Amino acid sequence: MKRSTQILRSAIIMMLTAFVFTSCVKKEYDDLSTANVDPALTATHTIRQLQIYATGPVGTLITDDIIVAGIVVGDDASGNIYKKMILQQDSSGIAVAVDVTNFNTDYPIGRRVFVKCKGLYISNNEGNFELGTSPTNPVGRIPANLLGQYLVKGQWGLSVTPMVFDLATADDFPEDIPTNTLIRFENVEFDAVSFGKTYAPTSGSNLYLNDCNTSPASLAVYSSNFSTFAMAQSPTGNGSIQGVYTIYNGDGELQIRDLYDVDMPNVRCDGTFGQTTLMPIDSVRMLLGGNVPAGRRIKGIVTSDFSTGMLTSSNLYLQDATAGIYIHFDDPHTFAIGTELEVIVSGFAVSTYQGVLQLATVGLGYALPVGSGTVAPRVTTVADMITNYNAWEGQVVRVPAGTITGSGTTYGFSTNFIDDGTGTIQLYTSNFASFANDTYPTDTVMITGILTQFNGTKEIIIRNLLDVQ
Protein backbone atom coordinates (compact mmCIF):
# COMPACT_ATOMS: atom_id res chain seq x y z
CA MET A 1 0.00 0.00 0.00
CA LYS A 2 1.31 3.44 -0.91
CA ARG A 3 2.08 5.77 1.97
CA SER A 4 -0.33 8.37 0.55
CA THR A 5 -3.21 5.88 0.68
CA GLN A 6 -2.30 4.94 4.25
CA ILE A 7 -2.30 8.58 5.24
CA LEU A 8 -5.70 9.21 3.62
CA ARG A 9 -7.27 6.23 5.38
CA SER A 10 -5.82 7.38 8.70
CA ALA A 11 -7.23 10.85 8.08
CA ILE A 12 -10.78 9.58 7.50
CA ILE A 13 -10.72 7.47 10.63
CA MET A 14 -9.33 10.29 12.75
CA MET A 15 -11.88 12.84 11.44
CA LEU A 16 -14.80 10.50 12.16
CA THR A 17 -13.46 9.87 15.66
CA ALA A 18 -13.08 13.58 16.31
CA PHE A 19 -16.67 14.23 15.11
CA VAL A 20 -18.14 11.73 17.56
CA PHE A 21 -16.00 12.51 20.60
CA THR A 22 -15.00 16.17 20.19
CA SER A 23 -17.18 17.30 23.11
CA CYS A 24 -15.53 15.04 25.69
CA VAL A 25 -12.05 14.09 24.43
CA LYS A 26 -9.14 16.44 23.96
CA LYS A 27 -7.27 15.86 20.69
CA GLU A 28 -3.70 14.66 21.23
CA TYR A 29 -2.69 14.71 17.57
CA ASP A 30 -3.22 17.16 14.78
CA ASP A 31 -5.82 16.07 12.29
CA LEU A 32 -4.25 14.94 9.04
CA SER A 33 -5.75 17.05 6.31
CA THR A 34 -6.19 15.55 2.87
CA ALA A 35 -4.85 18.83 1.54
CA ASN A 36 -1.12 18.52 1.05
CA VAL A 37 -0.15 21.85 2.60
CA ASP A 38 1.95 23.18 5.44
CA PRO A 39 0.29 24.47 8.61
CA ALA A 40 0.12 28.13 9.48
CA LEU A 41 3.44 28.00 11.28
CA THR A 42 6.72 29.77 10.62
CA ALA A 43 10.08 28.37 11.61
CA THR A 44 11.97 30.76 13.86
CA HIS A 45 15.31 28.98 13.56
CA THR A 46 17.09 26.68 11.18
CA ILE A 47 18.15 23.25 12.42
CA ARG A 48 21.75 24.47 12.27
CA GLN A 49 20.88 27.41 14.54
CA LEU A 50 19.10 25.06 16.94
CA GLN A 51 22.16 22.82 17.20
CA ILE A 52 24.08 25.66 18.85
CA TYR A 53 21.93 25.20 21.99
CA ALA A 54 23.37 21.73 22.59
CA THR A 55 26.25 21.71 25.08
CA GLY A 56 27.13 18.01 25.28
CA PRO A 57 25.78 14.45 25.45
CA VAL A 58 23.45 15.34 28.32
CA GLY A 59 20.41 17.25 27.12
CA THR A 60 20.12 21.04 27.55
CA LEU A 61 16.64 22.46 28.20
CA ILE A 62 15.26 24.77 25.50
CA THR A 63 13.43 27.65 27.18
CA ASP A 64 12.93 29.89 24.16
CA ASP A 65 9.96 29.75 21.79
CA ILE A 66 11.84 28.06 19.00
CA ILE A 67 10.25 26.38 16.01
CA VAL A 68 12.27 24.46 13.44
CA ALA A 69 11.13 22.60 10.36
CA GLY A 70 12.74 19.69 8.56
CA ILE A 71 11.90 16.94 6.12
CA VAL A 72 11.80 13.36 7.40
CA VAL A 73 14.73 11.47 5.87
CA GLY A 74 14.58 8.52 8.28
CA ASP A 75 11.52 6.72 9.64
CA ASP A 76 10.78 3.30 11.16
CA ALA A 77 9.04 1.72 8.16
CA SER A 78 11.65 -1.06 7.81
CA GLY A 79 12.48 -1.34 11.51
CA ASN A 80 16.11 -0.36 10.96
CA ILE A 81 15.59 2.99 12.69
CA TYR A 82 14.01 2.56 16.11
CA LYS A 83 11.97 5.28 17.85
CA LYS A 84 13.87 8.09 16.16
CA MET A 85 12.56 10.48 13.55
CA ILE A 86 15.38 11.91 11.45
CA LEU A 87 14.73 15.46 10.19
CA GLN A 88 16.89 17.33 7.70
CA GLN A 89 16.91 20.94 6.57
CA ASP A 90 19.41 21.88 3.88
CA SER A 91 22.70 20.31 5.03
CA SER A 92 21.82 19.96 8.74
CA GLY A 93 19.97 17.20 10.51
CA ILE A 94 18.61 16.25 13.89
CA ALA A 95 17.04 13.15 15.46
CA VAL A 96 13.79 13.43 17.43
CA ALA A 97 13.40 10.68 20.03
CA VAL A 98 9.79 9.42 20.08
CA ASP A 99 8.28 6.71 22.24
CA VAL A 100 6.11 5.49 19.38
CA THR A 101 6.39 2.58 16.96
CA ASN A 102 5.13 2.65 13.37
CA PHE A 103 5.20 6.43 13.41
CA ASN A 104 5.97 6.27 9.69
CA THR A 105 2.23 6.15 8.92
CA ASP A 106 1.86 9.74 10.11
CA TYR A 107 5.47 10.93 9.68
CA PRO A 108 6.76 9.14 6.58
CA ILE A 109 9.97 9.86 4.73
CA GLY A 110 9.37 12.99 2.65
CA ARG A 111 7.04 14.73 5.10
CA ARG A 112 7.88 18.17 6.47
CA VAL A 113 7.56 18.30 10.26
CA PHE A 114 7.54 21.42 12.41
CA VAL A 115 8.97 21.01 15.90
CA LYS A 116 7.95 23.27 18.78
CA CYS A 117 11.16 23.02 20.76
CA LYS A 118 10.33 24.88 23.98
CA GLY A 119 10.36 22.38 26.86
CA LEU A 120 12.43 19.82 24.97
CA TYR A 121 16.08 18.98 25.62
CA ILE A 122 18.76 18.96 22.95
CA SER A 123 21.98 16.94 23.15
CA ASN A 124 25.16 16.63 21.14
CA ASN A 125 26.77 13.20 21.38
CA GLU A 126 29.84 12.93 19.11
CA GLY A 127 28.22 15.41 16.71
CA ASN A 128 24.87 13.56 16.68
CA PHE A 129 22.18 16.08 17.66
CA GLU A 130 18.97 14.80 19.25
CA LEU A 131 15.78 16.26 20.76
CA GLY A 132 13.89 14.62 23.63
CA THR A 133 12.02 15.14 26.88
CA SER A 134 14.63 14.66 29.60
CA PRO A 135 18.23 15.78 30.31
CA THR A 136 19.70 12.32 30.05
CA ASN A 137 22.15 10.56 27.75
CA PRO A 138 20.41 9.72 25.52
CA VAL A 139 17.58 12.20 25.90
CA GLY A 140 14.16 10.85 26.83
CA ARG A 141 11.68 9.90 24.14
CA ILE A 142 8.58 12.04 23.56
CA PRO A 143 5.54 10.02 24.78
CA ALA A 144 2.82 9.21 22.28
CA ASN A 145 0.29 11.45 24.05
CA LEU A 146 2.62 14.45 23.75
CA LEU A 147 3.57 14.17 20.10
CA GLY A 148 0.91 16.68 19.08
CA GLN A 149 2.27 19.16 21.62
CA TYR A 150 5.68 19.27 19.98
CA LEU A 151 5.30 17.98 16.41
CA VAL A 152 3.12 19.49 13.70
CA LYS A 153 2.70 17.70 10.39
CA GLY A 154 3.30 19.56 7.14
CA GLN A 155 3.47 18.71 3.47
CA TRP A 156 4.25 15.15 2.42
CA GLY A 157 5.79 13.70 -0.72
CA LEU A 158 8.80 16.02 -0.56
CA SER A 159 12.29 14.88 -1.47
CA VAL A 160 15.78 15.46 -0.15
CA THR A 161 18.72 15.03 -2.50
CA PRO A 162 21.46 13.03 -0.75
CA MET A 163 24.78 14.78 -0.30
CA VAL A 164 27.58 12.87 -2.01
CA PHE A 165 30.83 12.19 -0.14
CA ASP A 166 33.78 9.86 -0.64
CA LEU A 167 34.91 7.12 1.70
CA ALA A 168 38.26 8.79 2.35
CA THR A 169 36.42 11.65 4.05
CA ALA A 170 34.28 9.25 6.09
CA ASP A 171 37.39 7.31 7.11
CA ASP A 172 39.81 10.13 7.92
CA PHE A 173 37.50 13.05 8.76
CA PRO A 174 34.14 11.62 9.89
CA GLU A 175 33.30 14.87 11.64
CA ASP A 176 33.35 16.70 8.29
CA ILE A 177 30.15 14.95 7.22
CA PRO A 178 26.95 16.34 8.81
CA THR A 179 25.23 13.79 11.01
CA ASN A 180 21.56 12.79 10.80
CA THR A 181 21.49 13.70 7.13
CA LEU A 182 20.95 11.70 3.97
CA ILE A 183 24.38 10.79 2.55
CA ARG A 184 25.33 8.99 -0.64
CA PHE A 185 28.55 7.20 -1.65
CA GLU A 186 29.30 6.34 -5.27
CA ASN A 187 31.50 3.61 -6.77
CA VAL A 188 31.65 1.59 -3.57
CA GLU A 189 31.30 -2.07 -2.69
CA PHE A 190 30.98 -4.23 0.37
CA ASP A 191 34.40 -5.56 1.32
CA ALA A 192 35.47 -9.14 0.74
CA VAL A 193 34.24 -10.23 4.15
CA SER A 194 30.86 -8.47 3.91
CA PHE A 195 29.61 -9.09 0.39
CA GLY A 196 27.01 -11.80 0.07
CA LYS A 197 26.51 -11.87 3.84
CA THR A 198 23.20 -11.09 5.52
CA TYR A 199 22.80 -7.53 6.68
CA ALA A 200 22.22 -8.42 10.32
CA PRO A 201 23.10 -12.02 11.22
CA THR A 202 23.40 -10.96 14.87
CA SER A 203 22.00 -8.17 16.98
CA GLY A 204 23.26 -4.82 15.78
CA SER A 205 25.65 -5.91 13.06
CA ASN A 206 27.98 -4.02 10.76
CA LEU A 207 29.04 -4.70 7.21
CA TYR A 208 31.82 -2.62 5.72
CA LEU A 209 32.33 -0.62 2.54
CA ASN A 210 35.41 -0.18 0.37
CA ASP A 211 36.08 1.73 -2.78
CA CYS A 212 38.77 1.09 -5.39
CA ASN A 213 41.17 3.51 -3.72
CA THR A 214 40.59 2.89 -0.01
CA SER A 215 41.73 -0.21 1.86
CA PRO A 216 41.03 -1.68 4.36
CA ALA A 217 37.30 -1.25 4.80
CA SER A 218 36.57 2.32 5.73
CA LEU A 219 32.89 2.73 6.58
CA ALA A 220 30.49 0.62 8.64
CA VAL A 221 26.94 -0.02 7.43
CA TYR A 222 24.80 -0.71 10.50
CA SER A 223 21.67 -2.87 10.38
CA SER A 224 19.34 -3.97 13.14
CA ASN A 225 18.38 -7.62 13.37
CA PHE A 226 14.80 -6.36 13.81
CA SER A 227 14.81 -4.78 10.35
CA THR A 228 12.69 -6.30 7.60
CA PHE A 229 15.84 -6.92 5.54
CA ALA A 230 18.02 -8.34 8.32
CA MET A 231 18.43 -11.73 6.63
CA ALA A 232 18.74 -10.38 3.09
CA GLN A 233 22.12 -10.88 1.44
CA SER A 234 24.26 -7.87 0.69
CA PRO A 235 25.11 -7.36 -2.99
CA THR A 236 28.44 -8.57 -4.37
CA GLY A 237 28.88 -5.89 -7.01
CA ASN A 238 29.92 -2.24 -7.09
CA GLY A 239 27.68 0.82 -7.17
CA SER A 240 26.10 3.31 -4.80
CA ILE A 241 24.64 3.32 -1.32
CA GLN A 242 22.82 5.99 0.67
CA GLY A 243 21.43 6.31 4.16
CA VAL A 244 21.42 8.30 7.37
CA TYR A 245 24.92 9.19 8.51
CA THR A 246 25.94 9.13 12.18
CA ILE A 247 29.13 8.90 14.21
CA TYR A 248 29.63 6.04 16.68
CA ASN A 249 32.71 5.76 18.90
CA GLY A 250 34.51 8.29 16.73
CA ASP A 251 33.88 6.47 13.45
CA GLY A 252 31.42 7.25 10.69
CA GLU A 253 28.47 4.89 10.28
CA LEU A 254 25.77 4.58 7.64
CA GLN A 255 22.25 3.36 8.42
CA ILE A 256 20.19 2.46 5.35
CA ARG A 257 16.42 3.01 5.49
CA ASP A 258 15.61 -0.04 3.35
CA LEU A 259 17.11 -2.04 0.51
CA TYR A 260 16.11 0.64 -1.99
CA ASP A 261 19.06 2.61 -0.59
CA VAL A 262 21.53 0.09 -2.06
CA ASP A 263 22.27 -0.17 -5.79
CA MET A 264 25.38 -2.19 -6.67
CA PRO A 265 24.92 -3.85 -10.07
CA ASN A 266 28.40 -3.16 -11.47
CA VAL A 267 31.69 -5.04 -11.68
CA ARG A 268 33.83 -4.81 -8.53
CA CYS A 269 37.22 -3.14 -8.32
CA ASP A 270 38.97 -6.48 -8.96
CA GLY A 271 37.02 -7.05 -12.17
CA THR A 272 34.66 -9.67 -10.70
CA PHE A 273 31.21 -9.56 -9.21
CA GLY A 274 32.58 -10.66 -5.84
CA GLN A 275 32.90 -14.35 -6.36
CA THR A 276 36.01 -15.77 -4.75
CA THR A 277 37.85 -18.78 -6.10
CA LEU A 278 38.86 -21.53 -3.70
CA MET A 279 42.62 -21.88 -3.80
CA PRO A 280 44.47 -24.95 -2.46
CA ILE A 281 46.95 -24.18 0.29
CA ASP A 282 49.86 -25.70 -1.60
CA SER A 283 49.25 -23.14 -4.38
CA VAL A 284 49.38 -20.34 -1.82
CA ARG A 285 52.71 -21.65 -0.53
CA MET A 286 54.15 -21.43 -4.04
CA LEU A 287 53.59 -17.66 -3.96
CA LEU A 288 56.35 -17.14 -1.35
CA GLY A 289 57.78 -13.66 -1.72
CA GLY A 290 54.64 -12.30 -3.37
CA ASN A 291 50.96 -11.61 -2.70
CA VAL A 292 47.87 -13.72 -3.27
CA PRO A 293 45.90 -12.59 -6.36
CA ALA A 294 42.50 -10.93 -6.04
CA GLY A 295 39.36 -12.99 -5.57
CA ARG A 296 40.95 -15.92 -3.70
CA ARG A 297 40.06 -17.81 -0.55
CA ILE A 298 41.39 -20.92 1.19
CA LYS A 299 39.55 -23.48 3.28
CA GLY A 300 40.93 -25.97 5.74
CA ILE A 301 40.83 -27.39 9.24
CA VAL A 302 42.42 -25.57 12.17
CA THR A 303 45.10 -27.89 13.53
CA SER A 304 46.51 -25.71 16.32
CA ASP A 305 44.92 -25.46 19.77
CA PHE A 306 44.50 -21.88 20.94
CA SER A 307 43.00 -23.02 24.26
CA THR A 308 46.33 -24.37 25.53
CA GLY A 309 48.44 -21.34 24.62
CA MET A 310 50.69 -23.43 22.37
CA LEU A 311 50.86 -20.44 20.01
CA THR A 312 50.42 -16.74 20.55
CA SER A 313 46.77 -15.78 20.37
CA SER A 314 46.88 -14.18 16.92
CA ASN A 315 48.31 -17.22 15.13
CA LEU A 316 47.08 -20.59 13.93
CA TYR A 317 47.85 -23.46 11.57
CA LEU A 318 45.39 -24.39 8.82
CA GLN A 319 45.55 -27.56 6.75
CA ASP A 320 43.66 -28.85 3.72
CA ALA A 321 44.15 -31.96 1.57
CA THR A 322 47.18 -30.40 -0.14
CA ALA A 323 49.26 -28.67 2.53
CA GLY A 324 49.36 -26.75 5.79
CA ILE A 325 50.09 -23.09 6.42
CA TYR A 326 50.80 -20.74 9.32
CA ILE A 327 48.49 -17.68 9.46
CA HIS A 328 49.12 -14.53 11.45
CA PHE A 329 45.99 -12.44 12.11
CA ASP A 330 45.78 -8.81 13.11
CA ASP A 331 43.86 -9.67 16.30
CA PRO A 332 43.56 -12.60 18.73
CA HIS A 333 41.22 -15.37 17.60
CA THR A 334 39.23 -18.14 19.27
CA PHE A 335 39.11 -20.73 16.49
CA ALA A 336 39.26 -24.12 18.18
CA ILE A 337 41.21 -27.07 16.87
CA GLY A 338 38.99 -28.91 14.38
CA THR A 339 37.21 -25.78 13.12
CA GLU A 340 36.68 -25.72 9.36
CA LEU A 341 37.68 -22.22 8.36
CA GLU A 342 37.37 -20.19 5.18
CA VAL A 343 39.82 -17.30 4.88
CA ILE A 344 39.74 -14.56 2.25
CA VAL A 345 43.41 -14.28 1.30
CA SER A 346 43.22 -11.83 -1.61
CA GLY A 347 46.18 -9.45 -1.61
CA PHE A 348 47.87 -10.78 1.53
CA ALA A 349 51.60 -11.44 1.53
CA VAL A 350 53.19 -14.88 1.57
CA SER A 351 56.45 -14.52 3.51
CA THR A 352 58.57 -16.18 6.16
CA TYR A 353 58.83 -15.45 9.86
CA GLN A 354 61.71 -17.01 11.76
CA GLY A 355 62.00 -19.39 8.85
CA VAL A 356 58.33 -20.46 8.82
CA LEU A 357 56.27 -19.81 5.69
CA GLN A 358 53.25 -17.70 6.63
CA LEU A 359 50.32 -15.61 5.48
CA ALA A 360 50.44 -12.22 7.19
CA THR A 361 48.93 -10.00 8.42
CA VAL A 362 45.43 -11.26 7.69
CA GLY A 363 42.44 -9.32 9.01
CA LEU A 364 40.58 -11.44 11.53
CA GLY A 365 37.32 -10.43 9.90
CA TYR A 366 38.39 -12.25 6.74
CA ALA A 367 38.14 -15.63 8.51
CA LEU A 368 34.76 -17.36 8.64
CA PRO A 369 34.02 -20.67 10.44
CA VAL A 370 31.96 -22.90 8.12
CA GLY A 371 31.95 -26.24 9.92
CA SER A 372 34.17 -28.74 11.67
CA GLY A 373 36.39 -31.63 10.73
CA THR A 374 39.49 -33.64 11.50
CA VAL A 375 42.93 -34.00 9.99
CA ALA A 376 44.54 -37.42 9.94
CA PRO A 377 48.19 -37.14 11.01
CA ARG A 378 50.88 -38.10 8.52
CA VAL A 379 52.43 -41.18 10.17
CA THR A 380 56.13 -41.22 9.33
CA THR A 381 59.67 -41.35 10.65
CA VAL A 382 61.79 -38.50 11.88
CA ALA A 383 64.20 -39.10 9.01
CA ASP A 384 61.41 -38.73 6.42
CA MET A 385 60.14 -35.58 8.13
CA ILE A 386 63.53 -33.95 7.77
CA THR A 387 63.93 -35.12 4.17
CA ASN A 388 60.48 -33.91 3.11
CA TYR A 389 60.31 -30.86 5.33
CA ASN A 390 59.67 -28.29 2.57
CA ALA A 391 56.59 -30.17 1.35
CA TRP A 392 55.28 -31.16 4.79
CA GLU A 393 55.86 -27.95 6.75
CA GLY A 394 52.74 -26.86 8.62
CA GLN A 395 51.10 -30.30 8.51
CA VAL A 396 50.10 -32.60 11.37
CA VAL A 397 52.63 -35.44 11.66
CA ARG A 398 52.97 -38.45 13.93
CA VAL A 399 55.98 -40.43 15.16
CA PRO A 400 54.49 -43.83 16.09
CA ALA A 401 57.19 -44.78 18.59
CA GLY A 402 60.03 -42.84 20.13
CA THR A 403 61.64 -41.61 23.30
CA ILE A 404 61.64 -38.05 24.65
CA THR A 405 65.00 -36.74 25.75
CA GLY A 406 66.07 -33.32 26.81
CA SER A 407 67.68 -30.86 29.18
CA GLY A 408 64.84 -31.02 31.66
CA THR A 409 61.85 -33.13 32.69
CA THR A 410 58.96 -30.84 31.73
CA TYR A 411 57.50 -29.97 28.35
CA GLY A 412 58.30 -26.31 28.70
CA PHE A 413 61.34 -24.51 30.09
CA SER A 414 63.70 -27.08 28.48
CA THR A 415 65.02 -28.26 25.14
CA ASN A 416 63.45 -31.60 24.29
CA PHE A 417 63.78 -34.05 21.40
CA ILE A 418 62.00 -37.13 20.09
CA ASP A 419 64.22 -40.02 18.99
CA ASP A 420 62.63 -42.81 16.95
CA GLY A 421 65.82 -44.58 15.93
CA THR A 422 65.91 -43.00 12.46
CA GLY A 423 66.88 -39.60 13.80
CA THR A 424 65.98 -36.93 16.31
CA ILE A 425 63.90 -33.78 15.98
CA GLN A 426 63.26 -31.05 18.50
CA LEU A 427 59.96 -30.93 20.39
CA TYR A 428 58.69 -27.44 21.07
CA THR A 429 56.37 -26.36 23.84
CA SER A 430 55.78 -22.71 24.64
CA ASN A 431 56.65 -21.71 28.19
CA PHE A 432 53.19 -20.08 28.22
CA ALA A 433 51.39 -23.32 27.34
CA SER A 434 48.97 -24.62 29.94
CA PHE A 435 50.95 -27.88 30.15
CA ALA A 436 54.44 -26.36 30.15
CA ASN A 437 55.10 -27.49 33.73
CA ASP A 438 53.85 -31.05 33.20
CA THR A 439 56.45 -33.82 33.32
CA TYR A 440 56.97 -35.71 30.09
CA PRO A 441 57.03 -39.55 30.12
CA THR A 442 60.34 -41.36 29.92
CA ASP A 443 59.08 -44.57 28.31
CA THR A 444 58.27 -45.11 24.64
CA VAL A 445 55.60 -42.73 23.35
CA MET A 446 53.67 -41.84 20.23
CA ILE A 447 54.10 -38.15 19.39
CA THR A 448 51.69 -36.08 17.30
CA GLY A 449 52.15 -32.42 16.47
CA ILE A 450 52.71 -29.81 13.77
CA LEU A 451 55.90 -29.94 11.72
CA THR A 452 57.60 -26.55 11.64
CA GLN A 453 60.93 -24.86 12.35
CA PHE A 454 62.58 -22.03 14.22
CA ASN A 455 65.28 -20.22 12.26
CA GLY A 456 66.34 -23.40 10.49
CA THR A 457 65.94 -25.83 13.40
CA LYS A 458 63.28 -28.38 12.47
CA GLU A 459 60.78 -29.13 15.24
CA ILE A 460 57.41 -30.57 16.12
CA ILE A 461 55.02 -28.35 18.07
CA ILE A 462 53.01 -30.27 20.66
CA ARG A 463 49.48 -28.84 20.82
CA ASN A 464 48.15 -30.45 24.00
CA LEU A 465 48.79 -33.50 26.16
CA LEU A 466 46.63 -35.66 23.87
CA ASP A 467 49.52 -35.41 21.42
CA VAL A 468 51.61 -37.57 23.74
CA GLN A 469 50.40 -41.18 24.02
Residue 398: which pLDDT band, with cuts at 50, 70 and 90? very high
Residue 213: which pLDDT band, with cuts at 50, 70 and 90? confident
In a domain, 387, yes or no: yes
Domain identity same for 136 and 52 = yes
Pick the more confident residue, 169 or 399: 399
What's the pLDDT score for residue 355? 95
Domain identity same for 194 and 129 = no
Flag whether pLDDT at 17 surpasses 90: no
What's the pLDDT score for residue 217? 61
Domain identity same for 170 and 249 = yes
Of 127, 153, 179, the residue that ends a domain is 153
C-alpha dist (Å) from residue 455 to 297, 452, 459:
28, 10, 10
For residues 94 and 224, give the distance between their C-alpha atoms in angstroms, rounded to a whole number.
Answer: 20
CATH number for the domain harbouring residue 413: 2.40.50.200
Domain identity same for 132 and 178 = no
What's the pLDDT score for residue 359? 96
In a domain, 324, yes or no: yes
For residues 270 and 276, give the distance between their C-alpha atoms in angstroms, rounded to a whole number.
Answer: 11
CATH number for the domain harbouring residue 78: 2.40.50
What's the pLDDT score for residue 39? 95
Domain identity same for 336 and 400 = no
Domain identity same for 364 and 382 = no
What's the pLDDT score for residue 81? 97
Flag whether pLDDT at 28 surpasses 50: no
In a domain, 36, yes or no: yes
Q: State how many domains the chain has.
A: 4
Domain identity same for 194 and 134 = no
Domain identity same for 148 and 8 = yes
Domain membership of residue 355 as a residue range? 277-372
Of 372, 403, 430, the residue that ends a domain is 372
In a domain, 407, yes or no: yes
What's the pLDDT score for residue 26? 33
Domain identity same for 326 and 243 = no
CATH number for the domain harbouring residue 282: 2.40.50.550
Residue 198: which pLDDT band, with cuts at 50, 70 and 90? confident
For residues 229 and 272, give the distance between their C-alpha atoms in angstroms, rounded to a whole number.
Answer: 25
In a domain, 436, yes or no: yes
- Residues 278-316: tens digit of each pLDDT: 999 999 999 999 998 877 889 999 999 999 999 999 999
Angle at 393 between CA 387 and CA 399, to 5 degrees: 65
What's the pLDDT score for residue 48? 98
Domain identity same for 139 and 20 = yes
One-letter amino acid of 270: D
| Mean pLDDT for all residues in the chain | 89
Domain identity same for 168 and 303 = no
What's the pLDDT score for residue 165? 95
Mean pLDDT computed over 240-265 = 95
- Residues 369-392: tens digit of each pLDDT: 889 999 999 999 999 999 999 999
In a domain, 158, yes or no: no
For residues 327 and 316, give the distance between their C-alpha atoms in angstroms, rounded to a whole number.
Answer: 6
pTM, two decimal places: 0.59
Of 153, 180, 195, the residue that ends a domain is 153
Flag whether pLDDT at 19 surpasses 60: no
Mean pLDDT computed over 71-94 = 97
Domain identity same for 351 and 391 = no
What's the pLDDT score for residue 195? 82
In a domain, 271, yes or no: no
In a domain, 402, yes or no: yes
- Residues 312-333: tens digit of each pLDDT: 999 999 999 999 999 999 889 9
